[in-house]
Amino acid sequence: MVKIAIAGGTGNVASEIVEVLLSKKKHHLVILTRKDTPPDAIVHPDITYVKVDYKDKASLTNALRGVHTVLSFVVVDRDRGSVSQKNLIDASIEAGVKRFAPSEWGSSNVTAIPWYTEKETVREHLREVNGEKKVLEYCLFQCGLFSDYLAFPHKTAKHITPLSLPFDFQNRRAIVVEGRNDIDGLTFTKAEDLANVVAEAIDFEGEWPLVGGIRGNYLTIGQILVLGEKIRGQPFSVETIKLEDLETGNINTSWFPVVGHPSIPKEEVESFSKVALKGILIGITKGAYTIRTDDWDKLLPSYKFTGVEEFLSEVWAGKP
């Protein structure tokens, strides 16, 4: 048994992983939180909640004494200058932590995705602290988009909030970049699979890969549309938008996916949703959601990932 600290451990992605780790009955979890323990927090004898100030490296270091692995789920776009995560990394080194996973859990690069810009700051800090010699083993867990989002508005994971994408299976419609259906694609991973991979990684005896790619499923835009029409039983209404119009913010589609997420204030949802549509579509053209490595697939060869078609066929079966 080792002690695992989880920064931002009450968030939705973190909670999926916490549930799986608890089910293994192997480790003690230290949930780091900025606020008092929320009333709906998971209660378990193998969980300790610790209120921390991410601006105070000394207190972070004390909270991490005796911890083997730190998993970070700090909300990246709320961590200006990556102060919280850089302090968390420095405190991990000072406290003697062996392994660290920064707040990744998604895209392979941050090109054209403004809310992920700080990820590169954290990556650079990790490279710097290990510049002369390795002082902290770390892994960028990258899984693409959650296939659970293609089930919107149906909730298919215990904690993950359903999110609307430009591929709207419910209303049989999509928004795509003109002329790129067979060029661009996305990696999809079910939230449950990510949680299981992380749990396996905690117990992995070898060294973590620097870039921990998870390539459970890959579909081109064209394949997503074909799959959607097959599963939903009717053609999709597809609107196209020129890449140059996206880049200049000239978006005149008849609809856009509304991104409602716990980390986004209600008054910012509409404006963020429009930024998100631009970022996601341009990001797709830049390969942001194409996971280039399959390290964890290879390191965990016996693990069977949930197929997108298998999963969505079950979700949408019998639904109007």
For the stretch 251-267, pLDDT in tens is 889 998 987 766 677 77
Q: How confident is the model over 216-244, as pLDDT tens digits?
A: 899 999 999 999 999 999 999 999 999 99
Q: How confident is the model over 153-200, as pLDDT tens digits?
A: 999 999 998 999 999 999 999 999 999 999 999 999 999 999 999 999
Q: Is the confidence at residue 130, as pLDDT, over 90? A: yes
Least confident of 33-47, 81-95, 125-139, 215-229: 33-47
What pLDDT shows up at residue 263?
66
What pLDDT shows up at residue 6?
98
Task: Give 145-188+217-290+302-316's CATH code, choosing from 1.10.10, 3.90.25, 1.10.3210, 1.10.3470.
Answer: 3.90.25
* Greatest Cα-to-Cα distance within the chain, rounded to the nearest angstrom: 59
pLDDT bin (cut points 50, 70, 90) of residue 140 is: very high
Helix axis angle for 221-232 and 308-316, nearest 10°, is 30
What residue spans define the domains of the chain? 3-138, 145-188+217-290+302-316
Q: Which pairing describes strands 185-189 and 28-33: parallel, antiparallel, or unpaired?
A: unpaired
Q: Is the confidence at residue 114, as pLDDT, over 90? A: no
Percent of the chain with pLDDT over 70: 99
Cα-Cα-Cα-Cα torsion 157, 161, 164, 169, nearest 10 degrees, comes to 20
What pLDDT shows up at residue 262?
65
Fold that domain 3-138 belongs to in CATH: Rossmann fold (3.40.50)
Give the whole-angstrom CA distance, residue 70 versus residue 280: 29
Q: Is the confidence at residue 106, as pLDDT, over 90? A: yes
